[in-house]
Chain A
Amino acid sequence: DADVTQTPRNRITKTGKRIMLECSQTKGHDRMYWYRQDPGLGLRLIYYSFDVKDINKGEISDGYSVSRQAQAKFSLSLESAIPNQTALYFCATSDLTRTGGDYEQFFGPGTRLTVL
């Protein structure tokens, strides 16, 4: 079973619609992240959460909101979708690794969102 799951895997919607992307993890990690991937731009951080009561904006948070419902669940919402939010969205989790104190991040399989 996958440790980090995302639903849906693919979604096509129309401009102005509200969309929620969900992420669940069974790794027991405290930290969760949402990224978007655009061709030629790599991944950019949208929001991140270090625990259930902690939510932080990333590099490109405008037009997005998040909810950390539990340690294992982190949802991303687009309140009113627009075409330039068409992208591949990834959820990731992390925790303190056992060596070196580095926080390796573990990624879900991604959600491909198309806004028409």
Chain B
Amino acid sequence: GNSVTQMEGPVTLSEEAFLTINCTYTATGYPSLFWYVQYPGEGLQLLLKATKADDKGSNKGFEATYRKETTSFHLEKGSVQVSDSAVYFCVTMEYGNKLVFGAGTILRVKS
């Protein structure tokens, strides 16, 4: 089945720093890719998605580009805020709309 590997955390940054969270995937074909975010004490919510190669997903200042050559979907943000502190999951999809999650990366942003 499909799988996702993302960088281990926690990642600790100062406010306004640049963020990259690496994500690579293995999959049959070219499945949709997602980043979900989990804020403290809450459920997961979709942050952004890309459905085909070279697509760029973006939302709330975050971006990720679907790179089939490197099987990657790295998450980036130019200037993080304290409110971005959360757990970020890189996710792919299998047949039957089943999501396959990475282990999650904890992001802590200090003021």
* A residues neighboring B (CB under 8 Å): 4, 31, 33, 40-45, 48, 56, 58, 90, 92, 94, 100, 102-110
B51 touches A102 (CB 8 A): yes
Q: Which residues from chain A contact B44 at a C-beta distance below 8 Å?
A: 43, 90, 92, 107
A41 vs B4: C-alpha distance in the bound complex, in angstroms?
11
Q: Is B42 an interface residue, CB under 8 A from the partner?
A: yes
* B residues neighboring A (CB under 8 Å): 4, 32, 41-46, 49, 51, 89, 93, 96-99, 101-104
* Minimum Cβ distance to chain A for residue B17 (Å): 25
- Known contacts A42-B89, A43-B89, A102-B49: A90-B43 contact under CB 8 Å: yes
Q: Which residues from chain B contact A42 at a C-beta distance below 8 Å?
A: 4, 89, 101-104
* Minimum Cβ distance to chain A for residue B46 (Å): 5
- Chain B residue, CB-CB nearest to A4: B43
A42 vs B42: C-alpha distance in the bound complex, in angstroms?
15
- Known contacts A42-B89, A43-B89, A100-B51: A105-B43 contact under CB 8 Å: no
B43 touches A110 (CB 8 A): yes
A40 vs B101: C-alpha distance in the bound complex, in angstroms?
11
A98 vs B93: C-alpha distance in the bound complex, in angstroms?
18
- Chain A residue, CB-CB nearest to B102: A42
Q: Which residues from chain B contact A48 at a C-beta distance below 8 Å?
A: 96, 98
With most chain A CB atoms within 10 A of its CB, the pick from B41, B44, B102, B103 is: B44
Q: Which residues from chain B contact A90 at a C-beta distance below 8 Å?
A: 43-44
- Known contacts A90-B44, A109-B42, A110-B43: A41-B103 contact under CB 8 Å: yes
B97 touches A103 (CB 8 A): yes
- Chain B residue, CB-CB nearest to A107: B43
